[in-house]
Amino acid sequence: KAKYKQQKQLGEGGCGSVFAGYRKADHLPVSDTHTCSCTHKHTHTPYGHNVLIKVLFVSLGTSAPVSLLDWYDLGQKLILVLERPVPCEDLFTYLEVKRGTIQEEEAKVSYWRILCVGRQLWSRIFHRDIKLENILIETGSDVPRVRLIDFGLSCFFKKRSVFQDFYGTCDHIPPEYYSHFTYSASPTTVWQVGVVLFEIRHLPHLTPNLESFSPDCQDFLKMCLTKLPARRPTLEQLQLHPWIIYEESKDKSSENKTLPCYVI
């Protein structure tokens, strides 16, 4: 309380709440995440401490995708204080402002920035709930920056990890869960990546209309939404897809080598 001023609540999940606030010394906008000590069945790790480990992990390295300002362990509660981008809105709200759809080129730019998060994160951490509401668009610059948020359901995983209890959004459940009641981290992430891309283009009615997609985009989407998980591409393969690779080549030719994607 001496260092930060807490303001309105921004959101609430099964294991905690997020509040807006600012640092008193310089009025830097922050978000305060209050988590309780619930656990995941597959990790048996206290939820708050597990999240802290993950936040610290993705904060390391030259690209430093997140700004963790402070943390307070209060026993049954853990408080994480992170930088809060202003102005910003989640991708669902961003699409509503765009009246439900955006042009494919804009979707491709944003989508490449979403995938670049995977270079820092998805090889070890299973987000479990990639959806429009968990993708934050920072709208204060000419090229909107993208942040992946809400790791309340996420966990560490090993390459051959198999999960039985599904955590996340029902509409984004992969088909293998309905047939075998099991799922794996990487194929599920790819499936959810495909669902989000489809929603970006067709949020109002969510009915197939592939004719409005370019051939490369159609191929990218079909690969993500392949029914059999073993036949879906890996995240690394998606990053090399022709629909995406052009954006990556443009970024590499840019003078600014810092990836404009973040995890909070």
pTM: 0.75
State the pLDDT at residue 222: 94
Calpha distance 48→75 (Å, rounded): 10
Q: Per-residue pLDDT for 155 more than 70?
A: yes
Q: Mean pLDDT across the chain, nearest whole number? A: 74
Domain boundaries, the chain: 4-83, 88-263
Phi/psi at 150 (5° precision) = 60, 85
Which residues are known binding-site members for ATP? 10-18, 83, 90
157 vs 189, higher pLDDT: 189
**Digit-coded pLDDT (tens) for 220-255:** 999 999 999 999 998 889 888 998 875 555 555 443
Q: Which two tokens stand for residue 152?
A: 């309340």
What residues contact residue 229 under an 8 Å CB cut-off, 6+ apart? 174, 176, 183, 184, 187, 188, 191
State the pLDDT at residue 101: 62
- pLDDT classification of 43: cutoffs 50, 70, 90: very low
CATH code for the structural domain at 88-263? 1.10.510.10
Which residues are known binding-site members? 10-18, 83, 90
Instruction: Look up 150 and say whether it is catalytic.
Output: no
List C-alpha distances in Å: 219 to 65, 211, 216.
30, 12, 5
Among residues 117, 123, 119, the alpha carbon closest in space to that of 148 is found at 117
State the pLDDT at residue 112: 74
- The architecture that CATH gives domain 4-83 is 2-Layer Sandwich (3.30)
Task: Indicate which residue of 26, 70, 73, 129 is catalytic.
Answer: 129
What residues contact residue 255 under an 8 Å CB cut-off, 6+ apart? none
User: What angle (nearest 5°) sits at the alpha carbon of residue 123, between those of residues 177 and 51?
Assistant: 85
Omega of the bond leading into 85 within 30 degrees of 0 (cis):
no
CB 153 within 8 A of CB 38: no
